[in-house]
Homo-oligomer: A and B are copies of this chain.
Amino acid sequence: MSSKLKVSIVGCTGYSGMELLRILSQHSGVEFAVLTSESYSGLEVKKALPFFNSDKVLVPFNAKKIAKASDVVFLCLPHTKSMEAASVIIKAGKKVIDLSADFRLKDNKVYEEWYGVKHTKPLLLKQSVYGLPEINRKAVKGAEFVANPGCYPTGIILGAFPAVKENFVVASDILVNSISGVSGAGRKSSTALMFSELNGSLKAYKLVNHQHTPEIEMGIIMGSGNSKVKVSFNPHLAPVNRGIVSTISFSLKKKITTANALDLYKKTFQDEPFVRILPEGQLPETRFVTGSNYCDIGIKVDPRMKRLIVVSVIDNLVKGAAGQAVQNMNLMCGFEETTALLNIGLQV
């Protein structure tokens, strides 16, 4: 037991935290050190979260105590709340994987513009490593501090960067329409998130100024090396718990067949354990990845409109949050990258 890695989860009664509990409980190399919750502190985990058989008592967050007790700390906090927390734990020499948006963007001005709040730890931005292994694995491997990507950016960057990198599409006018399940909005009570307000209904929201837009552009630039990338991002909400489907439309710069485009994508991802390119004629569905860490991608060329359309799906709570965080932890801590992450999706 003592040889196991001591991991702590800050905010483990939110959806990302709960999902970390679920995934890490299957990981033979770790043990839970501290589990925090503000809303349920003082309760045993199994009382607050009946699906999880643990007598461990939830405690309120205390950065110094948690740093002392842990090897790795997962921060599942609302944005702005991670800034101070990460700072303390990093200083104490412990590894941090931050699931919030606070340390993803490298420029605090961009953060402040899109998030509408002051960044209080701009210097720490230089230390954080963007944790999308498929485009940044080497950096993640040696990292002490990883900024875990957002849910929309994960699926969109993976679907978009290869076409940009291979230079057969216009980079400056990429159109992305995504549909997300509701858990992406987090676990917080509000009329807008009530069951009866969402069930049976479809909508677009936060058009034009969704805060994930600059992260999406940053990630595609990082993956492709093309700094001209600009993205018009239209997010939608649909009545499912989990899953994001992103449909990415590019103007073609040269003629290409669907088969050729698929080959380029297959080559790009040939060694990736969690990206699956579907055969020609098939498009992904979010149920293929429910509960799993996979990102499935389908492709179709439209010769009439001279467009390439790429569809990617992920489970926003797994590859889009907790699963990717564990993948990052595996890389940071010397575990096999796929440990605890190879289960396949529920499908039904």
CB nearest neighbor in B for A15: B348
A-B contact pairs, 9 of them (CB 8 A): A187-B196, A193-B194, A194-B195, A196-B241, A199-B239, A200-B200, A232-B305, A232-B309, A238-B239
Contact among B50, B241, B251, B309 for A199, CB-based, below 8 A: B241
A window 309-348: CB within 8 A of B:
309, 311, 313, 317, 342-348
Contact among B279, B286, B291, B305 for A203, CB-based, below 8 A: B286
Q: What number of copies of this chain does the assembly contain?
A: 4
Closest CB-CB distance, A165 to chain B, in whole Å? 22
Residue A264, interface by CB 8 Å:
no
CB nearest neighbor in B for A343: B26
Residue A179, interface by CB 8 Å:
yes
Q: Which of A18, A238, A291, A343 has the largest number of chain B CB atoms within 10 A?
A: A238
Residue A284, interface by CB 8 Å:
yes
Stretch of A84-92, A129-137, A242-250 at the chain-chain interface: A242-250
Given A208-B300, A313-B202, are A193 and B190 also a contact pair (CB < 8 Å)? no
CB nearest neighbor in B for A198: B195
In Å, the complex CA distance between A290 and B305 comes to 33
Q: Which of A199, A230, A317, A345 has the largest number of chain B CB atoms within 10 A?
A: A199
CB nearest neighbor in B for A302: B208
Given A343-B343, A344-B25, are A283 and B203 also a contact pair (CB < 8 Å)? yes
